[in-house]
Chain A
């Protein structure tokens, strides 16, 4: 580890709002320099994990999360998962977790869902959508009926992002209330576009028909009309 990198990690111990970001720039430089060097990356990741486990200020932990977005592996997931229920750090934990490949990050997000409510839950749901894992469909489907409309809406949009056949089935069988029907319709149509792209126009048409049957808003009706046209319907 270079002297500059040592200094950067030393600086992180007291890194707070107002500290010159150049004091920790060596971490970004190390990320670039260690591309393709698994051993060096593992060492760097270990250092970043220690920052998250330490009493370093919030701004310092955010620097670590940003770096783990680029180099984090399954090794980082446990400590990032501990931050998901922390109001101050949940977003930056997701900042890393949303982009870390492999099943561990998605599983950590799904597990943490049960521990939070409101905005934090919405955030985790959006990250699960961005990850587009079929493994998330069941848990997202259950959240479509959540009593918190913002959670149910987020779950619908996340299922739209997942976009699989399982996701569309979850959406079109959901009981849509006034607060959620717009999100469910939008997500259903997002999935239907995947179906059209896969030349499954029959399933797509059934999806648009379902949307049309749900007393849609003018905007949704317009969109569903276009979708039905794309399916070849008159």
Chain B
């Protein structure tokens, strides 16, 4: 395995350049689409949804009820869910036009679809986002956006390569943490030294017994790139528990609380202290008795701690006596939440608030934390090379083989 080859990210990070500085516009300008200043032929954005269970259903309702959207396709591996969503869309438009798919690739092959939203289990996100970019679709993907570190790099590269608008899915980052974001950006807390996040457990191995698979479920497609395992209703249940009885609990599909809530809480923390464009350089694991906590050190000196004893949720260590100029807090491009922000950016070809690179930076923290906990030790991280320098064992956790025939 060659971990010494340079990567594009390597070049970008070591030189401190952005993709824009390289000459790659981060989002494709409308001129490159051959449209010039002329608006698209239709004022409506044609959309489809992939993975339409709990979160996907909510996202679908959000987009379906937005007047800027014409919703034309649903995709889910569960027949009951698929038919229910199709009927819902058809009911909205009073026709039978919505097409229903088991295989997301058939949906992505449709040239009339401009954008998709994805809310499959986490182990599917990267493949589906990359395939959507390759098919020229803009993408809204639920959090956590990736399951491995390598997926993060490849998803960002695909989005930039094809000039797509790709938004991560945490609405909480902007909407839920104002109490700490406002004073941090407003300067009241002075220069920030550290912020703490309270977080639950990481996912675990799953070895549930075989059960009869429902006739309307395509189990092979549900598993997709994950290791084969027999059907069990708890293995694939989309409820929000991370402590068992749901796919969010098991490491083949999810990082558990660390990624599921980490995408929100860590995303909010890195936004508050304005390190969302960075990745940490050091992950320090401290073990005190039966308690373990982590400290992520950023290249600008700011520290993000996870479950540090004595610290509360989003507790900030600032320097209130020192002056710091206030900064304008970034916002959505349109009123109506993170979905409306995505739709507006499709029209303007602007960068969404939760641009995929920022979302990946957050989930990278989550993955680094999982690896440190799993190996039981501290780690160094080279964000430019996307490797653990000199740590051959940790480098094995950057990615994992996907079940055939799935490939990034």
Contact = CB atoms under 8 A, between A and B. Distances in A.
B401 A127 contact: yes
B399 A222 contact: no
B163 A223 contact: yes
Contacts of B374: 32
Interface in B318-359: none
Given A19-B207, A119-B405, A126-B401, A226 B163 contact: yes
Contacts of B376: 32, 35
A189 interface: yes
Given A99-B1, A122-B407, A226-B161, A130 B396 contact: no
B206 A21 contact: yes
A83 B188 CA distance: 61
Nearest to A33: B376
A101 B207 contact: no
Contacts of B1: 98-102, 105-106, 131-133
Interface in A197-234: 197-198, 217-219, 222-223, 225-227, 229-232
B400 A99 contact: yes
Contacts of A100: 1, 396
B204 interface: yes
Interface of B is mostly: loop
A124 to B, nearest CB: 8
Contact of A222 (B7, B136, B208): B136
Interface stretch (B25-33, B57-65, B85-93, B272-280): B25-33
B6 A198 contact: yes
Nearest to A97: B401
A35 B375 contact: yes
B163 A190 contact: no
A223 B408 CA distance: 18
A194 B153 CA distance: 13
B96 interface: no
Given A18-B208, A222-B162, A69 B396 contact: yes
B355 to A, nearest CB: 16
A217 B2 CA distance: 33
B23 interface: yes
Interface in A153-189: 154, 157-158, 161, 163-164, 182, 186, 189
Nearest to A96: B401
B393 interface: yes
B95 interface: no
Interface in A93-117: 94-95, 97-102, 105-106
Contacts of B399: 98-99, 130
Interface of A is mostly: helix
Given A59-B207, A91-B228, A126 B33 contact: no
A35 B377 contact: yes
A157 B401 CA distance: 15
Given A21-B204, A219-B136, A157 B407 contact: yes
Contact of B403 (A19, A91, A194, A222): A91
Contacts of A32: 374-377
B178 interface: no
B135 interface: yes
B162 A95 contact: no
Interface stretch (B8-16, B40-48, B66-74, B309-317): B8-16
A82 interface: no
B22 A91 contact: no
A45 interface: no
Nearest to B206: A21
Given A123-B405, A190-B157, A197-B12, A91 B227 contact: yes
Contacts of B377: 32, 35
Nearest to B4: A132
Given A17-B209, A18-B207, A126 B375 contact: no
A122 B404 contact: yes
A3 interface: no
B215 interface: no
B350 to A, nearest CB: 16
Nearest to B251: A66
A69 B227 CA distance: 14
A122 B134 contact: no
A98 B401 contact: yes
B110 interface: no
A230 B24 contact: yes
A230 B33 CA distance: 16
A227 B10 CA distance: 18
A130 B401 contact: yes
Contacts of B3: 101, 132
Nearest to B403: A91
A196 interface: yes
A148 to B, nearest CB: 11
Contact of A91 (B7, B12, B404): B404
Given A95-B401, A150-B405, A193-B157, A17 B210 contact: yes
21 contacts: A17-B208, A32-B374, A35-B393, A70-B393, A70-B396, A70-B397, A91-B402, A95-B227, A98-B400, A101-B1, A106-B1, A122-B405, A130-B401, A134-B2, A154-B407, A158-B407, A164-B5, A197-B12, A198-B6, A219-B134, A230-B22
Given A17-B210, A90-B404, A154-B405, 14 more contacts: A20-B207, A32-B377, A98-B1, A98-B399, A99-B395, A99-B401, A106-B1, A123-B403, A150-B405, A163-B5, A190-B157, A226-B32, A230-B22, A230-B24
